[in-house]
Amino acid sequence: MKASALGRPRRKGRATDPAEALNRHLGGRVKQLRTGRGWSLEALANASGVSRSMLSQIEREQANPTLAVTMRIAQAFGMPLGDLLELPGAASVVTVIRGDDHAYHYRSDKHCRIRTLSPLHLEKDVEFYEVRLLAGGALRSAAHFEGTREFLTVQQGEVRVESAGDAELLNAGDSASYRADVAHAIVNAGKGEALVFLVVIYR
């Protein structure tokens, strides 16, 4: 089951808007990493699966890429998402992610909604997600980087966790950890909506 990620609309505001600062940083960071490797835009497009025109717009700060696109670029460079997005000197006392901020909706379709709960510019080797699965919904993933593990807690409903050839049934309040460097899945095994919290740890 595939779904397109929600686009992140460009926000109006002052030049100091964190979203605008992140876009500026991303454009310069992508160009720096690409040229440092001696890659052309075409080479990066081939490595990431992101179109050459989109990459060009990102580098010129004329695009506001979705989280899924940004993750593909990070993977092409062989680094965690947070290392690509980290803003030098951007730390603040309290970072808030509002429940209605669609910039953090990584995926949304009629069966599955994923919202990242970790600040985009602070993600390092750990990522935190809220996953909602309607009845019949499933989140199936290909193998991540070697050594990656996922930790899942079921808040509501009943889900089946699959990792390679193993599977376990979980109910509300149950938690599980499993290898994510193999094909894996989170499947709604109940009749109603399932809500889980997912932590991805890269090693």
Q: What is the pLDDT of residue 10?
A: 31
Q: What is the pLDDT of residue 175?
A: 96
Domain interval for residue 57? 18-85
Domain of residue 81, CATH code: 1.10.260.40
Domain count, the chain: 2
Q: What is the pLDDT of residue 52?
A: 92
Please write the tens of the pLDDT for every residue from 25-76: 888 889 888 888 888 999 999 999 999 999 999 998 888 888 888 888 988 8
Q: What is the pLDDT of residue 132?
A: 94
Q: What is the pLDDT of residue 124?
A: 59
Is 128 contained in some domain?
yes
Identity of the residue numbered 17: D
Same domain, 81 and 134: no
Q: Which segments of the chain does DSSP mark as H helices, in order?
A: 18-36, 41-48, 52-59, 67-76, 81-85
Q: Residues in the chain with pLDDT < 50?
A: 1-16, 90-91, 123
Q: What is the pLDDT of residue 185?
A: 96
